[in-house]
Amino acid sequence: MKILFLPAVTIAALCLGSLHATEPAPPAAMSGEELAQKMNAASEGGARIRTQMEVRLTEGNRRVMQLQIKSRRTKTAVDLAYRIFWPNDRRDEVVILHQDAGSAPRGSIVIPHQPVRALEPAQMNEALFDSDLSYQDAVENVYAWKKQAIVGSESVRGTACQILESKPDSSSDSIYARVRSWIDPVRLVPLRLEKYSSSGELVRRIDITRLSRNENRTIPATIVVHGPRKNAVTEFNGAQIDQDVTFSDADFTAANALH
């Protein structure tokens, strides 16, 4: 199924209009495990996404990229391939990421006319295409972790949210010690995520500031990422999404990175 979004400057109007439709009744109270299971199930499937990534620096500079993302999420694994379409001097650079449930993530970087470079688990905290999003943030599914608890509730931009705290089963699963998600339990989407180190420091905050909706689900349209850098912020704006796409293992290999 194809969902087209308007250009970034009009996404706000699109999303506000789409969210005025009648919403389902609020669900019964759920435990942390039940909410995580619903979030995990809602994320399953394959999709091909076109998005604009903009990195804004406080000194006024900005970098813009047009990306294609191939995504496949199942109960047991996550596969992603991020490909640069623009700017032309970085066209067809690809980052491939994979994580099996209960295992550390891994990946590879594919740059035209260069040897493929492996990404080891120790490199998962490095930046994806010089953005404020790390490789770990892109690939990990915190709702598949076994330790889940509701730790409070709070309104985010007028929406009542449950605060779900997720903890990895072991230190090898993630670079983070815990993740808190502000989840709209009606539409089953997070509106904010905060990721903390083992020392309790807030490392990264991710805000979903715009949503879009089709007949099947509500999906993020604009995502804003604040990371360890104090002088930068990264924004992703959706342009086009093909949902329910079927991918094979071969689609997430260096040999088929550009297919």
Per the listing, tokens 């609020």 go with 26
Average pLDDT value for residue range 89-103: 94
The closest alpha carbon to 18, from 234, 256, 211, belongs to 211
Strand-pairing partners, residue 46, are: 72
The three-state secondary structure class of 129 is: helix
CATH number at residue 10: 2.50.20.10
The residue that leads in pLDDT, 23 or 218, is 218
What stretch of H or E contains 17? helix 11-18
In this predicted structure, the answer to whether residue 8 has a pLDDT above a threshold of 50 is: no
In this predicted structure, the answer to whether residue 159 has a pLDDT above a threshold of 60 is: yes
The residue that leads in pLDDT, 124 or 24, is 124
CA atoms lying within 13 Å on the CB side of residue 197: 8
| Confidence bin at 207 (pLDDT 50/70/90) | very high
Structural domain span for residue 252: 2-256
Which pLDDT score is estimated for 138?
95
Classify strands 45-57 and 147-156 as parallel, antiparallel or unpaired: unpaired
Residue 9 buriedness (CB in 10 A; 0-12 / 13-18 / 19+): exposed
Number of domains present in the structure of the chain = 1
Least confident of 51-55, 56-60, 80-84, 184-188: 56-60
Q: Which residues contact 182 (CB under 8 A, 6 or more apart)?
A: 154, 156, 161, 162, 163, 190, 191, 192, 193
**pTM for the predicted model, two decimal places:** 0.85
Average pLDDT value for residue range 5-23: 30
| Confidence bin at 164 (pLDDT 50/70/90) | very high
Give Cα separations from 78 to 10, 119, 134 (angstroms): 31, 15, 15
Which pLDDT score is estimated for 14?
24
